[in-house]
Structure 1
Amino acid sequence: MRCAILYSYAKERAGPLKPGVNTVEDAVKTVVAPVYDRFHLVPVELLKYADRKVGELDRHVPSNVKKVSSQARSVVSEVRRDGVSTFAKTVYSKYEPTAEQCAVSAWRKLNQLPLFPQVANAVLPKAAYCTEKYNEVIVSSAEKGYRVSAYLPLVPTEKIAKVFSGN
C-alpha cells in the first residue's frame, strides 16, 4: 500500500516527464492486465504448486533435448560475444574439411552409376569455363570499385580441382 502511495506521489510530481510516465504505465497495464485478470482469483498455493510441477518437468525432458538446448544457448552466446562474422568463419573452418570429404565421397558414388561419368565429362568443361568467367567478372568489378563485388564470393576452382583429384 505504501508503494502505491509513493508511486502516486512521484507520478504527480514528475513534471515534464509525466506524459512519458503515463505512456509507460499504459503500456504495462496493457501487457499485465490480461494476465492479472486471468490469475488474480487463483489461490497462491495453486500457483506455487504449478510452479513446482513445471520445475519437475526438467527430470522428464530427454537428455538429447537438453543437450541441443544447451548447444543452442552456447551458439547464441558465442555469436553475441564474437559477432556473426567471426562465428561464421569459425564454423566454416571447422566444417569445411568434413564437407569436402562428403563431396568427394558423393562424387565417387555418383561415378559408379551408369552413364554418370559420360554426362559429367560432357558437362564439367562447360561448368569450369563458366566458373572461370564468373571469377573474372567478380575480380574485374572489384578492380573497378563496384561494391557489390565484395559480397560475391569467388569460386575456389583450384581448391576444388585439388580436392577431387585426391592430391
Structure 2
Amino acid sequence: MADSDPKIQLKYLQFLQAAILQAVTGFSRLYGYAKDNSGPLKPTLETVKTAIGPAYRKFHHLPIQVLQFVDRNIDESVKVSTQAVSEARSSVVSEVEKKKVKIVDTASGIANSVYAKYEPVAEQYAVSAWKSLNRLPLFPRVANGVMVPTAAYWSDKYNEKVMITAGKGYRIASYLPLVPTEKIARVFSTHRQVSAPAATN
C-alpha cells in the first residue's frame, strides 16, 4: 500500500499523512465489522466491494500524490518567505546601524559642547580646592610625595590601556575619555608659579 511506503517523506504534512492512515485503518476495521455482522446484506456488501474495487485501485495513490504536491508547494513558500525575512532583517539591521551612528554623533556633539562650556569652570574649582588643601599642615608633603606621583602613574596607565584597546578595534574604548595629564600638570604648575611669589610676600 502506498500509505505505508517508507520512500514517501513529507516535510510539513506528516501529521496529515498519519491522520489519513489512521482514518483508513479505522474505516477498514469498520468495514470488516459491518461485513461480519451484516447477515442478509452480505451479498450486497460484496457487490459494493466489487464495484468500488477498480476505482479504489486506480485512485488510491492520489491522496499521497496530492499531499506531496501540497508539501512541495509549502516548502517552496517557506524558502521564499525565509529569504524575504532574511532580506528584511538585514535592511532593518542596516537602518538600526545608521540610527545608532546618528545617535552617537549627536551624543558626542552634546558631550563636547558641555565639556567645552564647563571645563574652564571645573578647572578653576580644582585649582581653588588644591590651593585650599595646600594651606593645611603636612598636606603639601603628602600630596607631592605620595598622591601626585600615584595619580600620575595610574592616569598614564589608564591612558595607555585606553589607547591600546582602541588601537585593537574595541569600539567602546574609542568613547572613553583620556585623562589630560599634561594639561593638569600645566595648570597646577602655573598655579604654583603664580602663588609662589604671593606666598613669599
Q: Taking structure 1 as the reference length, what is the TM-score of the superposition? A: 0.47
Structure with larger RCO (C-alpha < 8 A, sep 6+): 2
> Rg: which structure is higher?
2
Q: How high is the TM-score relative to the length of structure 2?
A: 0.40
